[in-house]
Amino acid sequence: MSGLLIIGAGGFARETAQAVRDAGDTVLLGHLDDNAALHGTEVDGVPVLGGCDLVHELPDARVVICVGNPRDYAARARLVRRLDLPADRYATVIHPTAAVSATSQAGPGSVLLAHCVLTAAVRVGAHVAVMPHVVLTHDDVVEDFATLASGVRLGGGARLERGAYAGSGALVREGTTVGAWSLIGMGSTVLGDVPPGEVWVGSPARRLREAAAPALDELATRTRGGVVI
């Protein structure tokens, strides 16, 4: 069965489903979610077909994973490892109102929602969530599994490393790096580099604490023994 499966049935998954319907060029098969109470129901008119592992029984379907929130923004990475699908199974969903320049690119499994902008030579990795009205300017790099909540703005040449989370309305200065699996609080202004695995908030942003356990676990898994996994 060809078409698209959205893994997850929460807010991000529902927004992605709406983007797919707005684009009108892909058959949306339904959601997959491990919450058994949702199986056989509909979410905004889209059926929840079963658990996430059902993806293996529909080998012709493309897939996008739409899970995660500020309390556990490592969830997408865990699901990608668990499902162990080849990269060519993953779709890239781009809302028709998104402005993506010819010199910019977004990787497999990534979602770009309404009115986001990628101006020039922007690189977005795999399984990245780009929420509405995000602006990524020239030469920005957003690595795999990062999340940019609505209204985030990145100055030119900024980098969000693997799994980083930028909260709604956050501003990141040009040439600045936000480290892997760090979280930037909503409305924060980042003026200098943020180390991996930390939470920074405020304007200007300052360190608040270590990131939560799921993000730190992912950071440790990714760099165990100094070897990239």
pLDDT of residue 224: 45
Distance (Å, whole) CA 110 – CA 16: 10
What pLDDT shows up at residue 83? 96
Using DSSP bridges, classify how beta strands 171-172 and 189-190 pair: parallel, antiparallel or unpaired: parallel
pTM over 0.85: yes
Q: What is the pLDDT of residues 111-147, one digit of tens each?
A: 999 999 999 999 999 999 999 999 999 999 999 999 9
pLDDT < 70: residue spans in the chain: 1, 222-229
Cα dist from 14 to 21, 35, 150, 172, 194, whole Å: 11, 15, 15, 28, 31
Cα–Cα distance, 94 to 85 (Å, whole number): 21
Look at residue 221 in the predicted model and tell me its pLDDT.
Answer: 82
**What integer pLDDT is reported at residue 222 of this predicted model?**
63
